[in-house]
Amino acid sequence: MKLLHGFDSSAGYGGGFLSIGNFDGVHRGHQQMVACLTRHARERRVPAVVFTFDPHPIELLRPEQAPPALTSFDQKAELLEQAGVDFLIVYPTDLRLLNLSARDFFDSVVLGEFSACGMVEGPNFYFGHDREGTVQSLEAFCGLTKLELDIVPPVYVGTRMVSSSVIRELLIDGEIEEAAGLLGRNYRLRGRVARGSERGRLIGFPTANLSHVVTLLPKDGVYAAVAHFDGGPRVAAVNLGPNPTFGEHRRKLEAHLLDFDGDLYGQPVEIEFVRRIRDTQPFSNAEALRQQLDQDIAAIRAVVRLPGNR
């Protein structure tokens, strides 16, 4: 996949099949859209092109309402590449673009910049100033200009329609496995290991403290997880939240990597959440906490098994 920041008509994406959107989470609904996009592109022997925005338009227009992201930009790009996208065009969002009317956006971007031969969108697609353009508008514009248009129906898991907002709600509620069902994979977040208080090491459970996390943190609690890094993957016990036993009230993300003894300071680590084990809770002393951690790790070993881990 070729990644471009802004337009470059000489790059080879012209005349392709195009999807426009934020694609946050690249969930099962997005995956169905991209599968449709790549099928059309392969049949026509043209590029499969995704056009997205960075930052999300709402961060410029109504920053106080901007939801936390489900994927970092790098994660999104990797997932779209794995799905078969040929070109990912990331537009540095500005007010000039956001102030275009729906028809001007279609004419200048879809026709002008991309010379698209067709489009694939979901049923809740909006475009143009104040989101005035709808799927019905797009159908009309494509009909007038002879562009092929495929509107992909929503995806349901049980009675839930798959959407980024529903996935956020599930993660905030700690419903990790339900969120994974809508994502089509376990939820992952990335950070960099920073130095902490090192209390975990003193009670026999050294932890990697993750900082620089730019995506949504699930509900506080203890989780069965997998830590992915240069020496991984490793089964991990993850504690998300404060440490009330030691009077610490700042929210932290700490991962104890099972059967691992090494220095991860400064290294990037990706945490893959598998199952929520319990709530965060205070203990009367360090020994009571240590005993509970022994029970947590036994439960986590039963849930997550990787080659090379006991």
Can you give the pLDDT at residue 274? 98
CA dist 287 to 22, 150, 299, Å? Answer: 47, 61, 19
Can you give the pLDDT at residue 3? 97
Can you give the pLDDT at residue 310? 46
* Integer Cα distance of 269 and 287 in angstroms: 29
Is 85 within 8 Å of 34 (Cβ atoms)? yes
CA dist 225 to 22, 94, 285, 302, Å? Answer: 27, 38, 26, 12
Is 125 within 8 Å of 134 (Cβ atoms)? yes
pLDDT tens profile 220-249: 999 999 999 998 799 999 999 987 766 677
Which of 273, 272, 265 lies closest to 192 in space, CA to CA?
265
pLDDT tens profile 3-14: 999 999 889 999
What's the whole-number average pLDDT of the chain?
92
Q: Which overall architecture, per CATH, does domain 2-154 show?
A: 3-Layer(aba) Sandwich (3.40)
CA dist 5 to 45, 83, 139, Å? Answer: 24, 20, 28
Residues 6 or more apart whose CB falls under 8 angstroms from that of 31 comprise: 83, 184
pTM of the model: 0.92
Both tokens assigned to 39: 């099928």
Is 157 within 8 Å of 3 (Cβ atoms)? no
Can you give the pLDDT at residue 243? 78
234 bridge partner residues: 227
Can you give the pLDDT at residue 69? 95
Task: Give the DSSP H/E element, type plus range, for residue 238.
Answer: strand 234-243
Query: Where do the domains of the chain lie?
Result: 2-154, 186-303
Fold of 186-303: Elongation Factor Tu (Ef-tu); domain 3 (2.40.30)
Q: Which residues of the chain have pLDDT under 50?
A: 310
